Amino acid sequence: MAEKLLEIKDLHAGVEGKEILKGLNLTVGKGEVHVILGPNGSGKSTLMNIIMGHPKYEVTAGTLSFEGEDLKDLKTFERARKGLFLSFQTPEEIPGITVENMIRTAKQAISGEKIKIIPFRRKLKAMMEELKMKPEYAERYMNVGFSGGEKKRNEILQLLMLEPKLALLDETDSGLDVDAVQIVSEGVAKFHNDENSCLIITHNTRILEKLKVDRVHVLMNGQIVEEGGPELIDTINSRGFTHILDAQAGK
Ligand SMILES: Nc1ncnc2c1ncn2[C@@H]1O[C@H](COP(=O)(O)OP(=O)(O)O)[C@@H](O)[C@H]1O
Ligand SMILES: [Mg+2]
């Protein structure tokens, strides 16, 4: 296996006193693409939020480490600085801050360096062209009045500009038409290389067409109940999630 990037061991976590993750184990190696499948409400978004250090969620047991370092005491912005990035299921609107400013500010905060405006703009423009985003979007307020598809493209734009070590994509393809799924899929494929990893939650496996998936994990009831190679996606697509539990119960 590749060098470990993210390692989660026996994670128990929840929100407002309710346990959602119940002993979850997951390891993502450097340069790998992992997919998490699971029914609604199984804890997928919770897992992503916990990896990113969302203050609302509480880890009650187990460990999370990134490049061998314990993430426990790190705040969200510190995790972003280490190279973690979360693309949301429902991206937020940020009135008053333009797309360009937001991404440049984030890039400066993460790298700790002043980002020169001219080369930054040049790259932003090129990436926006690839994502088929009109140039005027750079000047619009973050996600305000964006359609579902535009919000998702904007998430991929951030990914391409911020170049994290681990991209956590939480249903970045949900609610998109086929053309937009294609653009998101190409964007993720463009981002991915041997030096970075992706952990992708999706119900629409078309987003994976342009990627070589290394490992698939099935999350049910707060635990990884099944793991396998990319062929597991086809099994789930054709037989659903419940057959896994049935098979494990020997039915
Ligand atoms: N902030 C929250 N407050 C209360 N319950 C929550 C909260 N976030 C998630 N949950 C509950 O945790 C479970 C898992 O949710 P979630 O992680 O969003 O699942 P998934 O992304 O797999 O659909 C659900 O039962 C959901 O209602
Ligand atoms: Mg979710």
Element (H, E) at 232: helix 231-239
For residue 64, the SS3 value is strand
What's the mean pLDDT in 207-228?
94
For the residues 151-175, what does the mean pLDDT come to?
A: 92
**pLDDT average, residue stretch 26-44:** 97
Tell me how far the alpha carbon of residue 45 lies from the centroid of ligand 2, in angstroms.
4
pLDDT at 187 over 80: yes
Mean pLDDT of 60-83: 96
Residue 160 pLDDT greater than 70, yes or no: yes
Residue 37 has pLDDT above 90, yes or no: yes
Token representation of residue 6: 């993210």
pTM: 0.93
Q: How far is the CA of 42 from the centre of ligand 1 (A)?
A: 8
Measuring from atom 26 of ligand 1, which residue has the nearest CA?
A: 41
CA of 40 relative to ligand 1 center, distance in Å: 9
pLDDT for position 1: 61
pLDDT per position as a tens digit, 20-32: 999 999 999 999 9
Contacts of 122 (CB under 8 A, 6+ apart): none
Ligand 1, atom 24: closest residue by C-alpha: 41
Residue 250, pLDDT score: 76
Taking a C-beta distance cutoff of 8 angstroms, is the pair 90, 142 a contact?
no
Per-residue pLDDT averaged across 35-43, rounded? 96
User: Does ligand 1 come within 6 angstroms of the Cβ of 202?
Assistant: no
CB within 8 Å of 132: residues ≥ 6 apart: 153, 183
Ligand nearest to the CA of 36: 1
Mutate to test the pocket of ligand 1, among 12, 16, 20 (most ligand atoms within 8 A of CB): 20
- Helices in 131-228 by DSSP H: which ranges? 148-162, 178-191
